[in-house]
Amino acid sequence: CSATFTGTANLYLNGLGPELLGDPGFDLANPVGGTLNPASAYWQIENSGLTANSRIENGLAKFFINGATTTAIKKPGILNDGDRYLLTYTIPSNSPSTGALVLQDASENDTDVFLDITTGTHKLEFVSLGADFVMKRSGSSVNVFMSSISLKKVL
Protein backbone atom coordinates (compact mmCIF):
# COMPACT_ATOMS: atom_id res chain seq x y z
CA CYS A 1 0.00 0.00 0.00
CA SER A 2 1.38 3.43 -0.81
CA ALA A 3 0.25 7.03 -0.99
CA THR A 4 1.36 10.09 -2.92
CA PHE A 5 0.77 13.65 -1.81
CA THR A 6 1.01 16.72 -4.02
CA GLY A 7 0.52 20.40 -3.32
CA THR A 8 1.81 22.83 -0.74
CA ALA A 9 -0.63 22.28 2.14
CA ASN A 10 0.58 20.82 5.44
CA LEU A 11 -0.37 17.29 6.37
CA TYR A 12 -1.65 16.87 9.93
CA LEU A 13 -2.16 13.62 11.82
CA ASN A 14 -5.40 12.57 13.50
CA GLY A 15 -7.48 15.24 11.74
CA LEU A 16 -6.02 18.02 13.90
CA GLY A 17 -4.29 21.22 12.84
CA PRO A 18 -1.08 22.68 14.28
CA GLU A 19 -0.66 23.82 17.89
CA LEU A 20 -2.41 27.21 18.30
CA LEU A 21 -0.95 28.19 21.66
CA GLY A 22 2.45 29.87 21.51
CA ASP A 23 3.24 28.70 25.04
CA PRO A 24 1.66 25.33 25.96
CA GLY A 25 4.04 24.98 28.93
CA PHE A 26 2.89 28.17 30.72
CA ASP A 27 6.27 29.91 30.67
CA LEU A 28 5.37 33.34 29.28
CA ALA A 29 2.84 35.85 30.60
CA ASN A 30 2.18 39.50 29.95
CA PRO A 31 2.12 41.56 33.12
CA VAL A 32 -1.40 42.58 34.11
CA GLY A 33 -2.39 45.36 31.72
CA GLY A 34 0.98 45.09 29.93
CA THR A 35 2.02 44.25 26.41
CA LEU A 36 5.08 42.23 25.44
CA ASN A 37 6.27 41.18 21.99
CA PRO A 38 5.59 38.90 20.30
CA ALA A 39 2.14 39.21 21.84
CA SER A 40 0.98 35.91 20.34
CA ALA A 41 3.52 33.97 22.45
CA TYR A 42 2.29 35.39 25.74
CA TRP A 43 -0.66 34.55 27.95
CA GLN A 44 -2.74 37.52 29.08
CA ILE A 45 -3.96 37.68 32.65
CA GLU A 46 -7.08 39.64 33.57
CA ASN A 47 -7.58 40.41 37.23
CA SER A 48 -9.90 42.93 38.79
CA GLY A 49 -10.38 43.38 42.52
CA LEU A 50 -7.89 42.96 45.32
CA THR A 51 -8.39 39.25 45.94
CA ALA A 52 -8.01 38.11 42.34
CA ASN A 53 -4.46 37.08 41.60
CA SER A 54 -4.39 34.48 38.84
CA ARG A 55 -0.94 34.17 37.32
CA ILE A 56 1.50 32.21 35.17
CA GLU A 57 4.57 31.06 37.10
CA ASN A 58 7.02 28.16 37.25
CA GLY A 59 5.35 26.35 34.34
CA LEU A 60 1.86 26.56 35.85
CA ALA A 61 -1.30 28.54 35.16
CA LYS A 62 -2.66 29.31 38.63
CA PHE A 63 -6.27 30.36 38.97
CA PHE A 64 -6.93 31.99 42.37
CA ILE A 65 -10.10 33.82 43.32
CA ASN A 66 -12.13 34.44 46.42
CA GLY A 67 -15.00 36.89 46.36
CA ALA A 68 -16.82 39.00 43.81
CA THR A 69 -13.93 39.71 41.44
CA THR A 70 -13.05 38.67 37.91
CA THR A 71 -10.05 36.62 36.87
CA ALA A 72 -9.14 34.97 33.57
CA ILE A 73 -6.14 33.66 31.67
CA LYS A 74 -6.46 34.05 27.91
CA LYS A 75 -4.95 34.11 24.43
CA PRO A 76 -6.77 36.75 22.38
CA GLY A 77 -7.57 36.42 18.69
CA ILE A 78 -6.51 32.80 18.06
CA LEU A 79 -9.91 31.20 17.39
CA ASN A 80 -12.34 31.40 14.49
CA ASP A 81 -16.01 31.81 15.32
CA GLY A 82 -17.90 28.57 14.58
CA ASP A 83 -14.83 26.34 14.20
CA ARG A 84 -14.34 23.15 16.23
CA TYR A 85 -11.26 22.73 18.47
CA LEU A 86 -9.69 20.08 20.69
CA LEU A 87 -8.38 21.28 24.05
CA THR A 88 -6.04 19.00 26.01
CA TYR A 89 -4.82 20.08 29.45
CA THR A 90 -3.28 18.63 32.59
CA ILE A 91 -4.20 19.28 36.21
CA PRO A 92 -1.11 18.31 38.27
CA SER A 93 -1.24 16.39 41.54
CA ASN A 94 -0.20 19.52 43.50
CA SER A 95 -3.30 21.45 42.36
CA PRO A 96 -5.72 22.37 45.18
CA SER A 97 -8.55 21.79 42.64
CA THR A 98 -11.34 23.62 44.42
CA GLY A 99 -14.17 25.62 42.89
CA ALA A 100 -15.04 25.62 39.19
CA LEU A 101 -13.17 26.66 36.06
CA VAL A 102 -14.83 27.27 32.67
CA LEU A 103 -13.94 27.78 29.05
CA GLN A 104 -15.78 30.93 27.98
CA ASP A 105 -18.36 30.69 25.16
CA ALA A 106 -17.26 27.18 24.20
CA SER A 107 -20.55 25.50 23.40
CA GLU A 108 -22.70 25.76 20.33
CA ASN A 109 -25.48 27.39 22.38
CA ASP A 110 -23.25 30.31 23.48
CA THR A 111 -22.56 29.16 27.05
CA ASP A 112 -19.46 28.50 29.11
CA VAL A 113 -18.25 24.90 29.41
CA PHE A 114 -17.00 23.56 32.73
CA LEU A 115 -13.47 22.17 32.73
CA ASP A 116 -12.65 19.00 34.67
CA ILE A 117 -10.30 20.07 37.48
CA THR A 118 -9.47 16.63 38.87
CA THR A 119 -5.86 15.43 38.72
CA GLY A 120 -4.85 14.09 35.31
CA THR A 121 -4.95 14.92 31.61
CA HIS A 122 -8.30 15.91 30.12
CA LYS A 123 -9.63 16.46 26.59
CA LEU A 124 -12.51 18.67 25.54
CA GLU A 125 -13.84 19.26 22.03
CA PHE A 126 -15.71 22.54 21.62
CA VAL A 127 -17.03 25.03 19.06
CA SER A 128 -15.74 28.57 19.48
CA LEU A 129 -18.21 31.43 19.47
CA GLY A 130 -15.58 34.15 19.42
CA ALA A 131 -11.95 34.92 18.65
CA ASP A 132 -10.51 34.79 22.18
CA PHE A 133 -9.52 31.63 24.05
CA VAL A 134 -10.50 32.39 27.67
CA MET A 135 -10.35 30.23 30.81
CA LYS A 136 -12.01 31.83 33.83
CA ARG A 137 -13.54 31.13 37.21
CA SER A 138 -17.15 30.17 37.73
CA GLY A 139 -18.75 30.90 41.06
CA SER A 140 -17.34 32.86 43.95
CA SER A 141 -14.07 30.99 44.50
CA VAL A 142 -11.59 28.81 42.64
CA ASN A 143 -8.10 27.49 43.33
CA VAL A 144 -6.78 25.40 40.43
CA PHE A 145 -3.36 24.81 38.83
CA MET A 146 -2.82 23.73 35.23
CA SER A 147 0.59 22.40 34.11
CA SER A 148 0.29 22.01 30.34
CA ILE A 149 -2.20 22.74 27.62
CA SER A 150 -2.71 22.14 23.91
CA LEU A 151 -5.23 23.65 21.53
CA LYS A 152 -5.68 22.38 17.96
CA LYS A 153 -8.32 22.98 15.33
CA VAL A 154 -10.32 19.90 14.33
CA LEU A 155 -10.01 19.65 10.56
What is the pLDDT, as a whole number, of residue 51? Answer: 56
- How far does Cα 77 stand from its chain's mean position? 12
Q: pTM for the full model?
A: 0.82
Distances (CA, A) of 131 to 51, 80, 91, 125: 28, 5, 25, 16
What is the pLDDT, as a whole number, of residue 59? Answer: 87
Interval 101-147: pLDDT, tens: 999 887 777 788 999 999 999 999 999 988 899 998 887 788 999 99
- Secondary structure in 3-state letters for 23-83: CCCCCCECCCCCCCCCHHHCEEEEEECCCCCCEEECCEEEEEEECCCEEEEEECCCCCCCC
Q: Give the Cα separation of 96 and 24 in Å (integer).
A: 21
Tell me the three state secondary structure of residue 149: strand
Interval 9-60: pLDDT, tens: 565 667 899 999 878 888 766 554 555 544 556 788 777 665 557 788 888 8
CB contact at 8 A, 31 and 42:
no
Q: Give the Cα separation of 11 and 154 in Å (integer).
A: 13
What are the φ/ψ torsions at residue 50 (nearest 5 degrees)?
Answer: -75, -25
Interval 64-110: pLDDT, tens: 876 656 678 888 889 998 899 999 999 999 999 999 999 988 777 77
In DSSP terms, 136 is beta-bridged to 72, 102
- How far does Cα 43 stand from its chain's mean position? 9
* Radius of gyration for the alpha carbons in the chain, expressed in angstroms and rounded: 16
CB contact at 8 A, 83 and 127:
yes
What is the pLDDT, as a whole number, of residue 13? Answer: 64
What is the pLDDT, as a whole number, of residue 37? Answer: 47
